[in-house]
Amino acid sequence: RPQGGFGYFRDTYMKLNVWRLPIAKIFFLDADTYVLNGKDVREMLSRVLLPPNHVGLVHDCCHRGIFNSGVMLLYPDLEVARRLMVSLDAHREQRISSDQDIINEVFRGRVVELETKFNVHGRGRIPCYPAAVIHFTGSVKPAAFLLDRTKPKKEVGYFACFDHYETYFCALKNGTAQLTEKTQRFLGRVKNCTDVALQFYVSHSKTYAHAR
C-alpha cells in the first residue's frame, strides 16, 4: 500500500479487494455505516440498472466532482480489481487520502449516481432526511465513544445529523444482547439513550449549534 498515504486511511485500501469476491453483485457498506431503512435499500437494489464496469456511488459531501466510497453498488470483476491495483501502485509515493481516490480515478465517467439517502454523511451539505443508510464519517465513531469514555475529546466528528446519532444509540440499547459484554455493561447503566447521543454530539461536533 502507498507509503505516503494518510495513516488514518491506510487500512481502507483493503476495500479494493471487494472486486475480487466470487459474488455476482455487491452492495458494499463501510463498517461505520448503519442501515435505517432496509426496505428502501432493497427497492434500490431491484430498481437501479448498473451497466458492466460501472459502480454506484453517492457524491461526496465535501469534494466537488468526487464520489464517496463508503457505500457502493458494484459487480466484482477481476479485471477491474487489476486496474485498481495498477492505479494504487502508480500512486504509491503520493499522499492520496484513501481508497476513494483510487476508485474515483478508475471509474471516472462510469459512475451511476445513487440518491443521497443511501449515504447520508458529512457536515450538513447532504440533507439528513430522507435517509436509508447513515455514514458516520470522521475519525471519531459513536461506538468507540461507548467503549472508552476517558480519552480526551480532541478529535471532531464529521457527521452533522443529531437525530441519527440518537437513533443509533437507541438501537444499540434496544439490541444489547447482540453486543460485547463491555458495551452491554455500559448501556445497562444508561437510562436515556438520547442523553448519550447528546453528550457524544456536543463533545465531538463543531456543528452542533447549527444542527437542530
Q: DSSP code of 72?
A: E
Interacting residues of 147 by C-beta distance below 8 A, sequence separation 6+: 182, 183, 186
Q: What is the pLDDT of residues 6-15, one digit of tens each?
A: 455 566 788 9
pLDDT, position 137: 87
pLDDT, position 208: 40
Q: DSSP code of 180?
A: -
CA 104 to chain centre: 16
Look up the pTM and report it: 0.84
Task: Return the C-alpha cell found at 152.
Answer: 480526551
The H or E element that residue 73 is part of is strand 67-74
SS3 53: coil
Say which residue the cell 462510469 belongs to: 110
Q: What is the pLDDT of residues 55-110, one digit of tens each?
A: 999 999 988 899 999 999 999 999 999 999 999 888 776 655 579 999 999 999 99
The residues with which 157 forms a beta bridge, in sequence order, are: 138
89-103, 116-130, 138-152: least confidently modelled range:
138-152
Q: How far apart are CA 66 and CA 55, in angstroms?
A: 13
Domains of the chain: which residue ranges?
5-115, 138-209
Helices (H), 110-161: 142-147
Indicate the fold that domain 5-115 takes in CATH: Spore Coat Polysaccharide Biosynthesis Protein SpsA; Chain A (3.90.550)
- Say what percent of the chain tops pLDDT 70: 79
Task: Return the C-alpha cell found at 115.
Answer: 440518491
67 contacts 57 by C-beta, under 8 angstroms: yes
pLDDT, position 146: 65
Task: Determine how β-strand 111-113 pairs with β-strand 33-35.
Answer: unpaired
